Chains A and B, each alone.
Chain A
Amino acid sequence: GQQVMQIPQYQHVQEGEDFTTYCNSSTTLSNIQWYKQRPGGHPVFLIQLVKSGEVKKQKRLTFQFGEAKKNSSLHITATQTTDVGTYFCAGIGAGSYQLTFGKGTKLSVIP
């Protein structure tokens, strides 16, 4: 079945440093989504990427979808303590409608 791998599993950064998490799929994706789960909270949808090579920005967050539609990344510029949480990518395989989540990257920001 479809697998979505996400690295790193954990990341500790100093406040103000940048952060990137990477997502790789074993199969071509029709789209990819990113979610954030704050400590003690539930996953919250951030963004969806559909087109090959697509890049979207939300303030300090930059999301990319690979040309082959098999990988994606989330980059946070100048992290803040409010960025703390676990970031999940989730992909839908081509021809499917089942969303498969990566295991997430847990971000800690040291003030």
Chain B
Amino acid sequence: DSGVTQTPKHLITATGQRVTLRCSPRSGDLSVYWYQQSLDQGLQFLIQYYNGEERAKGNILERFSAQQFPDLHSELNLSSLELGDSALYFCASSPRTGSGANVLTFGAGSRLTVL
């Protein structure tokens, strides 16, 4: 157990639908990152939050949005789903400061299947 909790583990839905993925970071970590991993693909950075504020944005589609709440958990909302959105979505967190401030601890991922 990495300490980063993601729910749900698996999700099957239809095109056009909307889903929410949830992430609780490791205790004490203030930063949350979201990554998308498609089959045999690398890790595509979507977005990063730090202590509730958006810190960096990657190749996140307009149909996707995210937020980090005061208790530091984060949600990734995916709407108007398309077949190509089927992927493994990872959440990661990192410590506040120090030499390990950018070292990521990943959750187990949420596997989304769009039919």
**Binary B-proximity of A23-51 (CB < 8 A = 1, otherwise 0):** 00000000101010000011111001010
Known: A43-B106, A45-B104. A98 touches B99 (CB 8 A): no
Q: Is A85 an interface residue (CB 8 A)?
A: no
Contacts of B58 in A (CB 8 A): 98
* A99 at the binding interface (Cβ < 8 Å): yes
Q: Which residue of the partner chain, among B40, B90, B99, B100, contacts A42 with CB atoms under 8 Å?
A: B90
**B residues within 8 A CB of A106?**
40
Contact-size category for A: 20 to 34
- Please classify the interface of chain A as helix (H, G, I), strand (E, B), loop, or mixed, using the class held by over half of its residues: strand
Distance in angstroms from B17 CB to nearest chain A CB is 25
In chain A, what residue has the closest Cβ to B100?
A48
Which chain A residues border B108 with CB–CB below 8 Å? 41-42
State whether A97 touches B106 (Cβ < 8 A): no
Cβ contacts under 8 Å, A92 to chain B: 102
Contact of B102 with A99 in the complex, beta carbons under 8 Å: yes
Q: Which residues of B contact A33 (CB under 8 A)?
A: 102-104
In this complex, which of B48, B90, B102 has the most chain A Cβ atoms within 10 angstroms of its Cβ?
A: B102
Q: Are B105 and A45 in contact (CB under 8 A)?
A: yes
C-alpha gap A97/B41 in the complex (Å): 23
Residue-wise, chain A 64-100 has the 8 Å CB interface mask toward B (1 for contact) of: 0000000000000000000000001010100001111
Counting from the closest, the 3 A-B pairs by CB-CB distance are A103-B42, A42-B106, A101-B43
* A residues with CB within 8 A of B: 31, 33, 35, 41-45, 48, 50, 88, 90, 92, 97-104, 106
